[in-house]
Structure 1
Amino acid sequence: MKAFTNYEVYVVTFGRWALHARFSQSQQDRALDAARAIKAESDRPTQVLEENFEPEPERLTVRVIAKNGRAARETSGPAYDNEVLSRIFMMAVNALGIGVIVTALMAIALWSFRESAGATADALNMLLLFTFGATALLAAFDPKESRS
């Protein structure tokens, strides 16, 4: 199978390397230009990494192809674990939004067909839609999947 290549531009932010942009295989020059532009505008060190993934032996090679500026010696690598809580929070917020919107649309659509079902039915409907929304979002944005 064909190898996949990506170019990633990293910038030093708050004492650690942070991913700024990712470019496809055909955009190596754009990645190098973006790194130079960031260095010129913000005077922060940048580097461009080339990621080459070979699916057949399942091998990933990463190499630095350009550095702009000099990072401090204590600069650490990018953080990967700090996004789990933000993913869970955004999942809950999105599920709540889905529940509210669908409940409102159902109430508008069914308003003329029902007599007074009461606030309890609307609350249970909202809870059910929140649960379905959270389950769907959990399947799509499972934090355990992002670590592997």
Structure 2
Amino acid sequence: MRPDADFAGLVHMGEDGNEIWVEAGLSEPEKRFTIVHELVHARRQRAEEELRDERLEEAIVELETVARVGERTLRRMPSGVALTLLHDYVTGGCRFDPDTRMGLRAIYRRIWTLLGANRGRQAAARVARLRGSRVTPPGSRRRGAGRGRGT
């Protein structure tokens, strides 16, 4: 970690146990957000999804955290309106559940779109490979598939 780094929380995953440290001076909503943020770091680390680019990795973790934290908590945080709008976008208005494979893939497509990278499909494919499921690129679904028409 850089000596000049400013942080609100820290996750340590080791053989002796896993720990999350949170800055005591944070408000309750900020503490909740920070805990989820650190859990997202841990999830990505265990799934071997971490990127070498620290800035990009941190942006991805922040956006996944926004998707996972409840809107009530987000509204109570500084910049709550902006965070709530981001939550609505990345979760597709709460249609995409980050606790499911399909939901997380959809959220990651939106995260990559927000980050301006033409990597939405690549990111979704990477998450799917790690999770052992197949990715259907947007727009490639057969007409009527999944709607009860035909076979």
Q: Is this a same-fold pair by TM over 0.5?
A: no
Instruction: Name the structure, 1 or 2, with higher relative contact order (CA <8 Å, separation 6+).
Output: 1
* TM-score (ref. length: structure 1): 0.27
Rg comparison, structure with higher value: 1
